[in-house]
Amino acid sequence: MHTPLTRVEILSIYKVHGERVLLPKRMAQAPPDVRETILALAGDVREAGGRLILSDLFRSYDMQFQAHLDWKTGKKKAYSPPPGGSMHEAGRAFDLSLRDLKIPLAEFWKMAERRGVFPIISTPDRKKSEAWHFDCPGSHRLVAEYYRSGKGDNMPPYKAMAASAILAIGVRVDTFGDNQDAARLQASLVRLGYEIGNIDGRIGRRTRAAMAEAEIDDQEPARAVARAEDLLQQRYAAEYRESSPAGSAPFDFQAPPHILA
Ligand SMILES: [Zn+2]
């Protein structure tokens, strides 16, 4: 199965009639492990006397396309890559409100790191662009490391990680053209620890060798992907666990503790 997206109930910077509201549904989606991480982190921040309030989380292909256009036309100051390069498109990045955080950014960095959440700037300086952006890479971090160590070289490490995370939720990454399943299979093999050369959507000798080693014998990419996803689900169960307190109790309207002021 694909990595599922689940609803994340968290306060946002957006207001309706002067009251802060939960992050709107179209943005409030993330893989199960990210949801758990964000809610836990919100608890950590609250305990330290601050508040984790988000302005952005998931972006669909269309939303990312629009964000990129807005940057190109100068409507939006912060850079947004074209679709296929942002962890937001996998629901694996969030932007927080620095103003509402109320605790030193350096302290938040430490809390975040303990939960496997990472900034994309090099020092905790709140005046820097993207000081608000954090990634929750999960097993896709292995893809970045794979590229960083030179095992793949057709994309920068961060872009490869984002592509892997986006493919994992079943969304198209344009770079791979008609070879989406093949690219998804290759990224899956890298997450399983195999070396396949570049993630490029072309199944060559090395990808086939890795498939044999992983006992994925189906040559049809879509079916091979399904088999690889079974293996991923066993290894990274938290990224695939669909049931959540919100999902299992649809009639419980009590606000979860992390959104109470
Ligand atoms: Zn961001």
* Cα 193 to ligand 1 centroid, rounded to whole Å: 28
Q: How far is the CA of 79 from the centre of ligand 1 (A)?
A: 9
What was the pLDDT predicted at 197? 97
Residue 108 CA to ligand 1 centre (angstroms): 16
Edge to edge, what strands does the sheet with 118-119 contain? 19-22, 11-16, 54-56, 93-96, 133-135, 118-119
Least Cα distance to 31 among 246, 245, 248, 239 occurs for: 239
- Structure-token match 């850079």, residue found: 79
- CA 202–ligand 1 middle distance (angstroms): 30
What integer pLDDT is reported at residue 173 of this predicted model? 97
Per-domain residue ranges of the chain = 6-136, 139-239
| CATH assignment, 6-136 | 3.30.1380.10
Q: How close is the Cα of 63 to the center of ligand 1, in Å? A: 13
Strands (E), the chain: 6-7, 11-16, 19-22, 29-30, 54-56, 93-96, 118-119, 133-135
Mean pLDDT of each 10-residue bin along the chain, 261 residues long: 95 94 96 97 97 97 94 90 95 97 98 98 96 98 98 98 98 96 97 98 95 90 93 96 53 43 38
- pTM, two decimals, is 0.91
Beta bridge partners of 133: 95
The CA 220 to ligand 1 mean position distance, Å, reads 36
